Chain A
Amino acid sequence: MSSVVGTRPALTWAVHLSVLFLVALWTLPTLGILVSSFRDKDQLAVSGWWTALVPAERNIVARAAPPEDAVAENGNWIIAGNVFEGSGKATAFGISSREPAAYAVGDTVELRDGGRLTLDATGDYTISYVKKPDGNRGQRIFVTSVEPPKFTTANYRTVLFSEGLGKSFINTMTVTIPATVIPILIAAYAAYALAWMQFPGRALLLATIVGLLVVPLQMSLIPLLRLYNDIGIGKSFIGIWLAHTAFGLPLAIYLLRNYMAGLPREIIESARVDGASDFEIFRKIILPLSFPALASFAIFQFLWVWNDLLVATVFLGNNEEQLVLTGRLRELLGSRGGNWEILTASAFVAIVVPILVFFAMQRYLVRGLLAGSVKGG
């Protein structure tokens, strides 16, 4: 292939640039929430995440200390203080909402009640009066400030400890791990029987499993919900483990059977000749040899269960105690629709584990995908 491309440098550049463009398009959305989740929530609310590294211009409205706080000084009454809660750099200020940036820093403004207001770049203001001012509301000061970019982990602390995401994280783990391990075991035995044992009905069973691969989950929800209520499982972890096990089984059996059927016949025959039982052959030969296929399925199932919302909503419900990450995220989308500092941090907590698993085990995932779909599945 390099010979084709090599003759046309312009084309090579076009390829590099197109791939760069595609990669940017596919990663920027995720980068957006990652960056945003670490930003100060006030900055996040008023400026795009792509400006996170440049100082942000902000308009704030501060209220000076009330007149009763005025202190006498050199024959004048002075009210002093700072308009910023933290730190900042003021560039302009004003005293009415119509002209919030009417005056430059350092100017002195005559107020309607006779006071004279000045503001310097650090945000310190002084209002001086000739005679003792009255009233109990402080003067409003509109300040345009430039703030350095602020990054914080406070959003994560908030979502993990006060928005209940920590608990949901544990719930998701509790659902995911058994729901990944149990089907592997059950499917492996079934796949071995379908690949290497002779019995009547085998072809029909295989066809049924291929058919079940695509049965929509929606079909199962209501009948199972009724069944669970009838036999008293209700909304429990046992119920959801079994449900996820069942929904993962067709793919597991299909993948594993295809893999096991491809193992060399000689190994199995010679073990049989040596007097090994099927049970031993499975445990000592097939299972270790099938590791790549087992890993492929484990990743599929892990990602699928971790990311599932439908099965969890139906079989665990929406109660605070058992809410999983996806369910919590959906709830936050409804209740905290505008609080992007909460949503971005929560979303990142929800997706970080699958992404790590994905990058660590990508090889097996790709192999499983290829085995699962290219062979006509």
Chain B
Amino acid sequence: MAISSTEAPRSTHLPAILHFAATLGVALFIMIAGLGISVVAALAVFTAVNAILPDIKLLQAVLVMLLGVAACFGYFWGSNRILDMAYPARGENIAANINSANAIRPWLFLGPAVVILGIYLVYPVINSIILSFHGPDGNQWVGGANYAWLAKDAAFRESMRNNIFWLIVVPTAATFFGLVSAALTDRIGWGNIAKSLIFMPMAISFVGASVIWKFIYDFRPQGSEQIGILNAIVTFFGGDPQAWITLPLWNNFFLMVILIWIQTGFAMVILSAALRGIPEETIEAAIIDGASPFQIFYKIKVPQIWGTIAVVWTTITILVLKVFDIVLAMTNGQWGTQVLANYMFDWMFRGLDFGRASTIALVIMAMVTPIMVWNIREARKDMK
């Protein structure tokens, strides 16, 4: 909430700031009251019902869920009621009351979201920066030691190298395949079914996809029957079976294939909508001029959807920076496949060094920041 008080002063004077602070104060008070009442009520119901409920975990979970939702509703309804009672829209102060209530109400609506976002996303960014200057348990000041360690760490350099590979290959390949499949499926009768099927991997978890692809890369020693389809194809054409995910450097690309497989559908759906939005006239004109379908695609259509391609690209880029499950499940960073997100997880869970893990997290954050700034600028343009 401190965020907002910095913006107010530009147009107003000191009393206005005080007034705004008072508004927030009252809003906070009503929020706490509303939340308190609904949580206490929910807890009371929970205790009462739980006493007569049979001891089944799923039932308890359902109860907790219903009460959680009820408490949410209770908060919004209750805080609104309290506000109406505190500033009734009648009596001698009616105008002032309505104004006050209107100033406070947005904050009651926003309250839970602002508080949760503050605790779970804003505070951690600040806290991570502080932790990166501290030792393993996060209590001892070590200055820039974590950064110095990072600069010299071989595994970190390997992670950076691999992350750069991922950043180049995955968004490019997924966008390319997405564009091709969007262009092709838009031309045929069963295109929608084809789209659904190419889009489907998006619903599969990274771990599930890892199992699926590990089965494809499965390796049996030469001479025995291959049950992984990749080695079966290789041996069918007379090659030697390979343990794909242990091949240095190449294994990174075998892992990337998984993410490309998942993300192509996303790129396809968005690019397909963009392709359909292209004005018909430009295409008709090209046809009349005798352009071939390939020329129409590369010279007329693609240039018109560069904006959307950029959005798809950046969205996948952000995902790539956060990718962790695939590497964890497939190789756990062995055989030279480490990436930043998994390396951070490694230091957090196995290395138990919160300082170093926070430092690695900050590197990921730094890599995301340019995209974040660009997004905010684009969004502000949109909203004007």
Q: Interface of A with B (CB < 8 Å)?
A: 1, 3-5, 8, 11-12, 15-16, 18-19, 22-23, 26-30, 32-33, 36, 44-50, 170, 173-174, 177-178, 181-182, 185-187, 189-190, 192-194, 197-201, 203-224, 226-227, 237-238, 241-243, 245-247, 249-250, 253, 277-279, 282, 303, 306-310, 313-314, 325-326, 329-330, 333, 340, 343-344, 346-347, 350-351, 354-355, 357-359, 362, 366, 369-370, 373-377
Residues from chain B with a CB closer than 8 A to the CB of A226 are 127, 138, 354
A322 CB, nearest partner CB in chain B, Å: 10
Which of B20, B84, B191, B197 counts the most A-chain CB atoms under 10 A from its CB?
B197
Complex contact A278–B121 (CB within 8 A): no
The CA-CA distance from A132 to B214 in the complex, in Å, is 54
B324: Cβ under 8 A from any A Cβ:
yes
Quick one: which of A3, A170, A219 contacts B125, CB cutoff 8 A?
Answer: A219
The 7 residue pairs across chains A and B that have the minimum distance between CB atoms:
A201-B4, A246-B120, A307-B205, A376-B378, A358-B203, A190-B113, A223-B127
- Given A49-B227, A309-B328, answer yes or no on A377-B375 (Cβ-Cβ < 8 Å): yes
Complex contact B8–A220 (CB within 8 A): no
Residue of B nearest to A175 (CB): B61
B213: Cβ under 8 A from any A Cβ:
yes
The CA-CA distance from A74 to B293 in the complex, in Å, is 86
Complex contact B107–A199 (CB within 8 A): yes
Complex contact B128–A219 (CB within 8 A): yes
The CA-CA distance from A208 to B177 in the complex, in Å, is 33
Residue of A nearest to B61 (CB): A174
Residue of B nearest to A3 (CB): B287
Residues from chain B with a CB closer than 8 A to the CB of A49 are 227, 229
Complex contact A27–B200 (CB within 8 A): yes
- Given A16-B188, A48-B225, A170-B57, answer yes or no on A26-B201 (Cβ-Cβ < 8 Å): yes
The CA-CA distance from A322 to B204 in the complex, in Å, is 21
Complex contact A237–B188 (CB within 8 A): no
The CA-CA distance from A308 to B328 in the complex, in Å, is 13
A192 CB, nearest partner CB in chain B, Å: 6
Residues from chain A with a CB closer than 8 A to the CB of B207 are 307, 309, 326, 329-330, 333, 350
Complex contact B131–A222 (CB within 8 A): yes
The CA-CA distance from A238 to B8 in the complex, in Å, is 36
B157: Cβ under 8 A from any A Cβ:
no
B211 CB, nearest partner CB in chain A, Å: 4
Complex contact B227–A220 (CB within 8 A): no
Residue of A nearest to B116 (CB): A246
- Given A310-B324, A344-B211, answer yes or no on A354-B203 (Cβ-Cβ < 8 Å): yes
Complex contact A347–B208 (CB within 8 A): yes
- Given A29-B216, A210-B375, A226-B138, answer yes or no on A246-B117 (Cβ-Cβ < 8 Å): yes
The CA-CA distance from A213 to B20 in the complex, in Å, is 28
- Given A26-B201, A246-B120, answer yes or no on A373-B270 (Cβ-Cβ < 8 Å): yes
The CA-CA distance from A355 to B196 in the complex, in Å, is 11
Residue of B nearest to A167 (CB): B57
Quick one: which of A47, A242, A282, A354 contacts B225, CB cutoff 8 A?
Answer: A47
Complex contact A192–B213 (CB within 8 A): no
Residue of A nearest to B363 (CB): A218
Residues from chain A with a CB closer than 8 A to the CB of B229 are 28, 32, 48-50
B364: Cβ under 8 A from any A Cβ:
yes
A142 CB, nearest partner CB in chain B, Å: 16
Complex contact B124–A224 (CB within 8 A): yes
Quick one: which of B65, B72, B205, B293 contacts A350, CB cutoff 8 A?
Answer: B205
Residues from chain B with a CB closer than 8 A to the CB of A370 are 269-270, 273
Residues from chain A with a CB closer than 8 A to the CB of B338 are none
A60 CB, nearest partner CB in chain B, Å: 14
